[in-house]
Chain A
Amino acid sequence: MRSTRVVLLLAALGAYASGAAPSSKESSKQLGAAAHKAGTPFGDDFAGSSTCQMCHEDIYKNFRKSAHTFVETDKRGGWDEHGCESCHGPGAKHAGSATAEDIRNPLKLTAVETDKTCLSCHLNTAKHSERISSSHMKDAVACTSCHTIHGNGPAGLVARGAAQVNSLCSSCHKDVAVQFAKPFRHKVPEAEMTCVDCHNPHGSNRKAMVQSFAANDVGCVKCHGDKRGPFTFEHAPVRFEGCATCHEPHGSSNPRMLVRQEVKSVCLECHSNMPAVKTPAVGSPMGVVPPAFHDLRSPRYQNCTVCHQKIHGSYADRNLLK
């Protein structure tokens, strides 16, 4: 009896997972699917893409060369020969009247409504699994802000070339883009790197939508593999607060993209706690003052990394000297 229940439960779950359950009402309204005639694929409200092509030849051509063309050709998707109407809704009325009011134009909708159209296909994908962490989503930046849905000729639905990607991002993030005018920076203006090498525009569980490496390491170590560790003797802030504790990745006036003009300031602003001063409840900030022989009046001690060269972590020395 118990086994039968398990079987029935699994069968029900399986049937649900297979998509046999009725479609959602909201999306049905949204896509105009309510106009479907019972038992037929498309109702009278639908015109078919070939009708759209008659007036929108250029768009149709681009669309057919784009990655979205499979919507038009793939019968399994359910929109074969009706690719245009998969986003724009039923088009027969518009085809008859040729007025813009009679067709749904996602570009004129709110960002939330536009995204809803796109996400009716794209929501349940690995790429969008961190969607609710995305500041783009939070600030109502629609998918169409970056993606050209009809396709940009053979170039695809979104900029791919490094310079084009950076240009696309900087069209909104102008204050960030101009930081790359500073001398010490990553090679973004040279188009050797792109913004999306470091940031995931679809969302990430890290601050500033930073990419990750090998599941959950910070994306910086994808290129700086020697900084990944694990080290025998770690430098705690690298793990606890990340690279941006000491570096300004977008551009800095200071060598090595440091956050201060000289190395000793970067180090001593944290390494200024007397040992054993500790509040039992919350502990104390980390970073102990260096021993007294570090005489800052001597140029030898101006740049701590001259001696503490393994500042990101050392395999051999607890003081990060070798």
Chain B
Amino acid sequence: MRATILLLMAMPLLGQDAAKPADAPKQEATKEEAKKEEPKKEEAAPAAAAPAPDASPLPSNESWITGYVEAGYRWRSGIGGSADTWRSLVNLGSGPKFTGTDFTILDPKHRLFERLRVRAYDWGDPWSSLHIFAEKRGLYKFLADFRQMAYFNNLPSYADPTFLIDQQSFDTKRRMGSYDFEMFNGHLISPYLNYERDSSSGRSVTTFQTGGNEYAVPSLMRDTTDLFRGGFHVSGNRYHLTLEEGGTIFRNDQDTYTTKTNPGDNPVPFIGQTLNLGTLSQAYGVRGTGTHSKVIGTASPFSWLDLHANFLFSQPSNSLNYQQYDTGNLVVLSTLLFYTNEQYLVSATSKLPHTTADAGFEIRPFSGIRIQQSWMTDRLHNSASANQVDKFLSAGLTTTTLPQAYLAYNYNQSETSIFGEVSKSLTLRGGYRYVWGDVRDAVLPPEALTTNPSSTMHRHVGLGAIIYRPSPKLSLTGELEAGQSTGEYFRTSLYNYTKVRMMGRYRLTNTLRISGDFNYLDNRNPNNGTSYLFRNQRESLALDWTPKGDNWTFEANYTRCDAHSQISYLVPQLLSPALSVYRDDCHALSGFLNGTYRKIKINAGGAASWTSGSRPGSYYQPLAKVVAPVNKSLSVFAEWRYYGFAETFYAYESFRTHLLTAGLRYTR
């Protein structure tokens, strides 16, 4: 019986073609009927014979490879101002640069591939990338994406500003690779495999914090995440199913070692004693694994109904082995215990099952009416435990704590939208979203001022939109979202809010288009003790001008933004209420002129921003580039860039630098 059932279930699958147009003409015509039809086709197209199905898509007189390769040399002027800020923001240097290549190979005989596309950019710079795409339709599709990025960050204003030391600075390199391989793409069943690797390594300056003082110390850090996943798509005429299983392997190591006496940030004697750090050895070792499952299903059982459902589950878990040994003149604040050497050992484990599921449908009961309903739930529960052993060797004291941590997050959402096409040019949308959930965060046993907070939240949101497109020249879109909440997770969470978004596009002439955008968010939490007001407004005006077809184009974009926030808070040392006010008024401008003058391509423009308010400053990034042809396939290029950054309150972080790059470009 089971065999019969399985056979019956398998038969339709075996008999089914790959995904095709839902209403593709049936191909069951007999050969005789097909022969009768042939002359009609020939009458319709006497001069052009229909191509054979496996004919090359590449006309014989076209090149099988197209693309370009570009390389040059860059000179950088001296950095005027802060070299650290320059490296944190831009980080471009002098030297030979492989600025980029982008080429496509179309194999007319479809041997290993039909199409191979390779793109590589910015090799020799702090960030570089390589992308490879190869496809042989019906057999495989391969996509590789590799990027590396040097991440340097050292901003004195981010550390203790008194000592101008490099606390919380990084000099690391991050590498990211993603490799996708899909087989039998376009068939009923297409399996796929994917491997991703994200790794980072480098140096940093971190802080060793212990009672009453903190010490900047050098650190080595390294982390790697490997993701493996595989699955298959089942694609039918009116349904789709994806099943995927995957796993992650995570490693994170951080080592700190110093033998240099370090006075720390606090030079003031504490109860008559000067605190300092003599030696420190710290080692973190985090190892983790995780699994995930993904089920995606869609179906269109009737012309008026579309269904979808997703089920996603992941469960990463980590374990820690931490060892610390330190000497010096140190203190435990809570017990006023002075000590000269300490050993601190921690082992811990954590596990985070995370389930996300959503489902929905779109129903079209009448012409011009669409109703969409969706539900979603997202719930994660982290549970962790640790074993902390602190040995104060000089004092002969050992303390052991066994904290248990628990964090739970449950989010639910239900949304209904109705679309009404009032006319060909006017669409109205209205909807309602209900969001509810609860959170809990607990660490046991509780510490002095910590609590085990929990909160619930219910939010009712009204949605509305108008889309008006009376002609190809004009397009207007307006959206409104207004929410009312009961309960919040954080004082700055969305509470009672209004969001407005408007976009307009108008083609004044055949060569001139203007567009405008307006975004507004107003969020208020009037609850006693919070009194939060946040308003963010952004207006943008853009212009596209193509005075001579595509030979010359000019685009400009101006945006003004205004963010204003105020919230009451408690000053920790006094527990007295105060007001935190933040303002960010910015003007940002970008513009480019592209054109060709006597075969010389010109590209000039750039971007600039000016900010006033809580952190006033300016940032200029103009550039100009010319490309002059030497012959049909070879051209020379030269590019100038300028970076100028200034801050009013942190003037020592400003910089300005010129860059000049020249090189050759080969195009085929």
B405 adjacent to A233 (CB under 8 Å):
yes
C-alpha spacing A303/B372, complex, angstroms: 47
C-alpha spacing A120/B55, complex, angstroms: 26
A182 adjacent to B239 (CB under 8 Å):
no
B557 adjacent to A177 (CB under 8 Å):
yes
Q: Given contacts A139-B467, A261-B615, are A233 and B384 in contact (CB under 8 A)? A: yes
B519 at the interface (CB under 8 A from A): yes
Interface membership of chain B positions 564-592, coded 1 if the CB is closer than 8 angstroms to chain A and 0 otherwise: 01011111111100001010101011100
C-alpha spacing A306/B274, complex, angstroms: 21
- The smallest beta-carbon distance between A186 and chain B, in angstroms, is 10
Interface membership of chain B positions 261-287, coded 1 if the CB is closer than 8 angstroms to chain A and 0 otherwise: 000011000000000000000101010
Q: Given contacts A223-B198, A239-B409, A318-B403, are A283 and B106 in contact (CB under 8 A)? A: no
Interface membership of chain A positions 243-274, coded 1 if the CB is closer than 8 angstroms to chain B and 0 otherwise: 00100000001111000110101001110111
User: Which residues A151-193 have CB closer than 8 A to chain B?
Assistant: 153-156, 160-162, 172, 174-175, 177-184, 187, 189-192
A307 adjacent to B225 (CB under 8 Å):
no
B266 adjacent to A217 (CB under 8 Å):
no
A175 adjacent to B159 (CB under 8 Å):
no
In addition to A39-B28, A174-B515, A293-B333, 19 A-B residue pairs with Cβ atoms within 8 Å of each other are A76-B17, A121-B20, A139-B479, A162-B129, A174-B540, A174-B557, A181-B619, A216-B312, A229-B350, A233-B443, A236-B489, A241-B493, A255-B158, A282-B486, A285-B491, A288-B450, A306-B265, A316-B348, A318-B403
B455 at the interface (CB under 8 A from A): yes
Interface residues on A, range: 35 or more
The one of B304, B360, B407 in contact with A239, judged by C-beta atoms closer than 8 angstroms, is B407
Stretch at the interface among B71-79, B244-252, B631-639, B657-665: B244-252
Q: Which residues of B contact A174 (CB under 8 A)?
A: 515, 517, 540, 542, 557, 559
Q: Given contacts A175-B540, A222-B198, are A285 and B225 in contact (CB under 8 A)? A: no
B487 adjacent to A181 (CB under 8 Å):
no
A306 adjacent to B168 (CB under 8 Å):
yes
**Beta-carbon nearest neighbor of B103 in chain A:** A154
B461 at the interface (CB under 8 A from A): no
The one of A65, A263, A272 in contact with B491, judged by C-beta atoms closer than 8 angstroms, is A272
Listed A/B pairs (26) with beta-carbon separation below 8 Å: A18-B236, A19-B16, A23-B23, A40-B33, A40-B36, A41-B27, A41-B29, A47-B44, A64-B51, A77-B17, A86-B21, A95-B44, A110-B424, A139-B467, A175-B540, A190-B122, A205-B378, A217-B314, A229-B352, A236-B441, A240-B409, A255-B158, A275-B450, A286-B455, A297-B573, A318-B447
A24 adjacent to B26 (CB under 8 Å):
no
Q: Which residues of B contact A276 (CB under 8 A)?
A: 451
Q: Which residues of B contact A126 (CB under 8 A)?
A: 233, 240, 242, 296
B327 at the interface (CB under 8 A from A): no
- The smallest beta-carbon distance between A227 and chain B, in angstroms, is 10
C-alpha spacing A153/B58, complex, angstroms: 11
**Beta-carbon nearest neighbor of B558 in chain A:** A178
**Beta-carbon nearest neighbor of B198 in chain A:** A225
Q: Given contacts A239-B382, A322-B209, are A228 and B250 in contact (CB under 8 A)? A: yes
A240 adjacent to B322 (CB under 8 Å):
no
10 closest Cβ pairs, A-B complex: A78-B24, A24-B303, A18-B12, A282-B487, A230-B352, A225-B225, A19-B237, A283-B455, A175-B540, A14-B12
B572 adjacent to A184 (CB under 8 Å):
no
Q: Which residues of B contact A80 (CB under 8 A)?
A: 53
B23 adjacent to A120 (CB under 8 Å):
yes
The one of A64, A130, A293 in contact with B310, judged by C-beta atoms closer than 8 angstroms, is A130
Q: Which residues of B contact A54 (CB under 8 A)?
A: 45, 47-48
B235 at the interface (CB under 8 A from A): yes
- The smallest beta-carbon distance between B179 and chain A, in angstroms, is 14
User: Which residues A100-157 have CB closer than 8 A to chain B?
Assistant: 108, 110, 112, 120-121, 123-126, 128-133, 138-140, 153-156
A318 adjacent to B200 (CB under 8 Å):
no
The one of A130, A154, A212 in contact with B104, judged by C-beta atoms closer than 8 angstroms, is A154
C-alpha spacing A181/B587, complex, angstroms: 10
C-alpha spacing A290/B449, complex, angstroms: 8
B453 at the interface (CB under 8 A from A): yes
- The smallest beta-carbon distance between B173 and chain A, in angstroms, is 13
B258 at the interface (CB under 8 A from A): no
Interface centre among A180, A226, A260, A300 (most CB of B within 10 A): A226
